[in-house]
Amino acid sequence: MGLFNPNAPLTADLNLLFQIAIFFFLAAGVSIAKFRRKFIEHGATMAIALVLNTISIAVVMIPSFQGFRGVLSMPFTRPAFIIVVHAAAGTLVEIIGVWLVGTWAFRHHNIKACARKRSIMRATVFLWLVELLLGMYVYIMLYVPI
């Protein structure tokens, strides 16, 4: 039994809350760079958000995705399409995030090198938001009777 809906597993509810918290943490990281100009702290905050997201993917999302075989066996339905788009967007965010954090970790004192990736960083945060909203939609679609 979930926190928000008796039809939802507790792990789905907790992961939804966890993902929202991660996004606020990510927004704090953006704010650290934009307003405080503390780029090492910004990078560390983004790295922590990425690690938390990776844990969530490994512990909750991949097992959940594997459990959707029935939904995914009908690939031309809206639920299957949304779930696949959500998973693809999440995978892309994770790959780009690992690349950004990985390149930062080896050259975190070279602010100019990081600054050149600013547009990629912004696009990744935007895609992360889209992916979070898709995840919320997946939650509603699967667990909230409408």
Q: Is residue 92 included in any domain, yes or no?
A: yes
Q: Residue 1: is its pLDDT beyond 60?
A: no
- What residue type is 51 in one-letter code? V
Q: Is residue 5 included in any domain, yes or no?
A: no
pLDDT digits (tens, 9 = 90+) for 81-138: 888 888 899 999 999 989 888 887 776 666 666 677 778 888 998 999 999 999 999 8
Q: Is residue 2 included in any domain, yes or no?
A: no
> Which of 88, 124, 103 has its CA nearest to residue 43?
103
Alpha-helix runs per DSSP H in 4-144: 10-34, 39-56, 62-66, 69-72, 78-106, 111-115, 118-143
Residue 146 CB neighbour total at 10 angstroms: 4
pLDDT digits (tens, 9 = 90+) for 40-82: 888 888 889 999 999 999 998 888 877 766 666 676 778 788 8
> 73 versus 9: which is more confidently predicted?
9
Q: Is residue 134 included in any domain, yes or no?
A: yes
Check if the beta carbon of residue 86 is closer than 8 Å to that of residue 138: yes
68-96 burial: b if 16+ Cβ within 10 Å, else e: beebbeeeeeeebebbeebbebbeebbeb
* DSSP structural state of residue 74: S
pTM to 2 decimals?
0.81
Q: Is residue 102 included in any domain, yes or no?
A: yes
Q: Is residue 54 included in any domain, yes or no?
A: yes
List of residues 6+ apart from 12 with CB closer than 8 A: 2, 60, 64, 139, 142, 143
pLDDT digits (tens, 9 = 90+) for 24-45: 988 888 888 777 777 788 888 8
Q: Is residue 82 included in any domain, yes or no?
A: yes
Count of domains in the chain? 1
Residue range of the domain that includes 139: 10-143
List of residues 6+ apart from 107 with CB closer than 8 A: 113, 114
Q: Residue 2: is its pLDDT beyond 60?
A: no
Q: Is residue 1 included in any domain, yes or no?
A: no
Axis crossing angle, helix 78-106 with helix 39-56, rounded to the nearest 10: 140
